[in-house]
Amino acid sequence: RTLRNIRRDRVTIVCEWYNTPLVDEGGKVTGAASLVHDITEREQAEQRLHESQTLYSSLVENLPQCVFLKDRAGRFQFANSRLCELSGKSPEEIVGRTDADFHTPEVAAAYRRDDVSVMTTGQTLEQVDEFQAADGRRRHIHVMKTPLRDAAGVVVGVQGIFWDITE
């Protein structure tokens, strides 16, 4: 179990505490062995990570632009609320699907070519495309796509942002 303790120097630490009964040859409990491990640094790192994720999520969800992430196979891994609103789909209806599930074959193929180019070259793509909104109207959108990299720098997909410039 996890416990918060105050050291002699009045600093609060977080510890994992494990107890194991000591049993004699007859099966009688004769004592206990305890192991205490200071996990304060891990707790603090987890808290900082949680705060960072909350800030990032708040930023991305509240942008007036559409934001998405796709894996190497072109499957959506994330769509922010603005993209969901524009497409008329919930995140559950978008995540795990590809552009082929939402667009004509020609449009889906063009989007896929762009994604593959970004992942292959490592270069940012910036262009104007057409997009059919949930209301059926064709919209002109300004699109920026960049490679999505993991912690080791390996390209694992594409991330993008776009906004309506029809007006």
What is the per-residue pLDDT for 33?
93
What is the per-residue pLDDT for 124?
97
Please tell me whether residue 110 adopts helix, strand or coil conformation.
helix
pTM more than 0.85: no
pLDDT at 108 over 90: yes
Contact indicator for 143, 160 with CB cutoff of 8 Å: yes
Residues of the chain with pLDDT > 90, as a percent, come to 68
pLDDT at 133 over 80: no
103-131 mean pLDDT: 94
pLDDT at 9 over 80: yes
What is the per-residue pLDDT for 149?
96
Burial of residue 76 (CB within 10 Å: 0-12, 13-18, 19+) is buried
**Residue range 48-106, pLDDT digits in tens:** 998 888 888 888 888 889 999 999 999 999 999 999 988 899 999 999 999 999 988 99
Dihedral of CA 107/108/109/113: which sign?
positive
Tell me the C-alpha distance between 22 and 137, whole Å.
73
